[in-house]
Amino acid sequence: MEITLGMVEYKDIIDAINKAYNIDFSNYALTSLKRRFEIVIKKYSFSDYEEFIKKIVTDKKFLEILLYEISIPYTEMFRDPELWLVIKKSIIPIIRKKEKYRIWLPECTTGDELYTLLIVLKESDLLNKVEVIVNNLSIKNINRIKQAYINLKKMEINAANYQRFDGNYRFSEYYYLFDKQVQLKEYLFDNVIFKQNHIIDDELNDLSVDIVLFRNRLLSLNPQLQKYVVDMFHRKLKSGGFLIIGVKEHIDLNTHYKKFTVFNKSEKVYKKTY
């Protein structure tokens, strides 16, 4: 039986998670998160939402399963190749002028965005010069991203995107081939730092970065949390740093007056002004 959550039930779940674990989902977009809760309830055969709440608050292992299940995945490597060309041709030349560079991927889920970035850095001879910070609330997600296994069928799409990106090498040079999957080569991850934390916890107090890559995530947040997150990115970015969001998203430059300018309108790349 499929359970549909009402507003009261949805709020009870949010409140229970916050009270038990101090994880606040109250400012996430309601429709998307509610549907994900409903999918998990059905998948794990809970009879009602109260049983679901009880399992969450009494079983921390199930909380980890829930955090993993409600993550919003990226679908493929080199998704929107035009953006990666902008990074390669317009942003990379700026990176080359600095001694050290730091890129942050908040709430990285499947790893596709990270894997793509690492290959772009490798092909630009910057892999050992750039530190990449990756964070996610789910340790299961982090471990899976670290292992870097990818289904062989999915790699067909990834390879086609890489060709559109006009990569420098054969795509197969970046992974080991197994029977039904591939694994990205370990050296790509030498300068990657993984951290388990929630983006709104702001635990990375001393973090100072040159690029924030947060594509297709603002849509999952309500306007209040969107503003908070963009303000936080502004604080973390160095002067002249870049914020990259999804092509269907935008930053209200009136709300964030003079904090950002548009660097590339079509690919939604913004530059910090101060």
Output the pTM of the full model. Answer: 0.84
Residue 74 has pLDDT above 60, yes or no: no
- Alpha carbons 156 and 245: distance in angstroms, whole number: 25
Find out whether 191 and 101 touch, Cβ atoms under 8 Å.
no
Residue type, 196: Q
Domain spans, the chain: 7-69, 81-272
Write down the mean pLDDT value for the chain: 90
Q: What is the mean pLDDT of residues 242-267?
A: 89
Mean pLDDT of 66-93: 87
pLDDT band at 1 (very low <50, low <70, confident <90, very high): low
Which residues are CB-contacts of 259 (< 8 A; sequence separation ≥ 6)? 234, 272, 273, 274
* Closest alpha carbon to 126 in 211, 17, 24: 211
What average pLDDT does the segment 115-123 reach?
97
Q: What value does the mean pLDDT take over residues 206-229?
A: 88
Tell me what the mean pLDDT of segment 147-153 comes to: 93
Paired sense of beta strands 175-177 and 181-184, if any: antiparallel
For the cut 70, the answer to whether the pLDDT of residue 219 exceeds it is yes
Strands (DSSP E) found in the chain: 101-105, 130-136, 149-151, 175-177, 181-184, 192-196, 209-213, 237-244, 260-264, 269-272
Least confident of 30-34, 54-58, 83-87: 30-34
pLDDT in tens, 8-43: 999 999 999 999 999 888 878 788 789 889 999 999
Q: What's the confidence (pLDDT) of residue 194?
A: 95
Which class would CATH give 81-272? alpha beta
- Average pLDDT for residues 223-229, to the nearest whole number? 88
Q: What is the mean pLDDT of residues 202-206?
A: 62
Amino acid 207: pLDDT: 82
